[in-house]
Amino acid sequence: MSSPTRTHRLVWRTATLLVSLLFLSAATAASSSDWQSRVTPRLLALWTQAQGEPGEKTEARGAALSGPAPLSPARFDQAGRVQLDVHFDCSTPAPTKTLAATGLLIGAVVRVPPLCSVEGWLQPGDLPDLAARSAVRSVDLPTYSRIIRPVMHSLGQAQAVASTVIDGSAVSIMHADQYIQTTGKNGAGITIGVMSDDVTSLAIIQARGELPAHISILTPAQQSPNPTPTDEGTMLLEEMHAVAPGASLAFCAPQTDVEYVSCLRDLIAAGASVVADDIEYPAEDAMSTQSALAQGVQSLLTQNANVMLFSAAGNENESFWQGAYAPTQLATPFTCGGQADAYAQTFDNGLRNDTMQLLGTL
């Protein structure tokens, strides 16, 4: 028979165990509900939909991939994992090991305050476990670049043959050849980095001798295939090589804003002191101080004061006018903003309206 003292100890231990279990259960429940506050509504909606029947999951994924559906722009890989951006506290190292333990397939990792994010691929069902980790501040779908397909025009046979020959008009217009001849500077000793959609036909252009045999191609980790290749990166490399034939070339193709900062960082690490892009992120503004992308880019450029970044401003109306460009020398140069110009832009021997309006205000 147990003694009263022993019985009291057993009761105390049992009560303590029950209190501990209740506390643990309450903490787990709180953690379980708290994870949702760290997930953006659009990602939470995707997770909720993914909890349905297998047929519903397939339908949701198809909608997310096909176009402007409510769950877009979610992207899935062949294993059914969705691409995510996991934001963490910039005062701490990137929690890659912690996130990998939840099943996240790590992609681009950026720790450039205020943009501190781990990008990767995760099974939707594992989202609660990932978002509940203490190192996680928020989880969202990535911001993807807008890919603008090139406008194709039909050409006659004579035009098609002529179009395969480089006419060098851009070099002539900029007088790049004269600059090289006069100064002896052709870009030697400089590395130029290019960021754009893709370089699908790079090998073909290199085989034609229009680009150097060695170009450094940097690829963000765990990147999905480009769904709509445009070869714009190949064209931009050709432009750079035409005006600076002695420069080394490097290329990176970011699809997300996190990958953009990752590419810029890696291009700088590869020695690029001049970087140019032609990429648009509809949800971001590279010129806005409120944009995490812009702030991350500014932070990188501040750390690397020798680097010049040229970012293109888009014109997506998918129409253009083509004609002969012949600058007209003005009898009296005009000054605007402290810059003196002796030429006005003309196309097909006619002054542009905007030029005339400008001249009328001086």
- The CA angle 164-229-232, to the nearest 5 degrees, is 50
Q: Is 277 exposed, middle or buried (0-12, 13-18, 19+ CB in 10 A)?
A: buried
Is the distance from CB of 252 to CB of 193 less than 8 angstroms?
yes
The answer on pLDDT for 84 being more than 90 is yes
pLDDT band at 173 (very low <50, low <70, confident <90, very high): confident
Q: How far apart are CA 237 and CA 144, in angstroms?
A: 22
- Of 169-178, 206-215, 305-314, the range with the highest mean pLDDT is 206-215
Q: Which residue has the higher pLDDT, 338 or 296?
A: 296
Average pLDDT, stretch 4-33? 45
Query: pLDDT by residue (tens digit) across 185-231?
Result: 999 999 999 999 999 999 999 999 999 999 999 998 888 887 788 89
The answer to whether the CB of 266 falls within 8 A of the CB of 307 is no
The dihedral over CA atoms of 232, 234, 235, 241, expressed in degrees to the nearest 10, equals 150
The residue among 251, 299, 246 whose CA lies nearest residue 279 is 251
Q: In angstroms, what CA-CA distances link 306 with 190, 250, 309?
A: 12, 17, 10
Mean pLDDT of 223-249: 90
Burial class (CB in 10 A: 0-12, 13-18, 19+), 122: buried
Least confident piece of the model among 63-77, 201-215, 272-286? 63-77
Among the residue ranges 25-34, 43-52, 101-110, 158-167, the one predicted with the least confidence is 25-34
pLDDT at 40: 94
pLDDT, position 86? 98
Tell me the average pLDDT of the chain: 79
Q: How high is the pLDDT of residue 316?
A: 54
pLDDT at 154 over 80: no
**Residue 218 pLDDT:** 96
> What pLDDT, on the 0 to 100 scale, is given for residue 127?
96
Give the pLDDT mean for 273-277.
96
Question: Residues 185-196, buried b or exposed e (16+ Cβ, 10 A)?
Answer: ebbeeebbbbbb
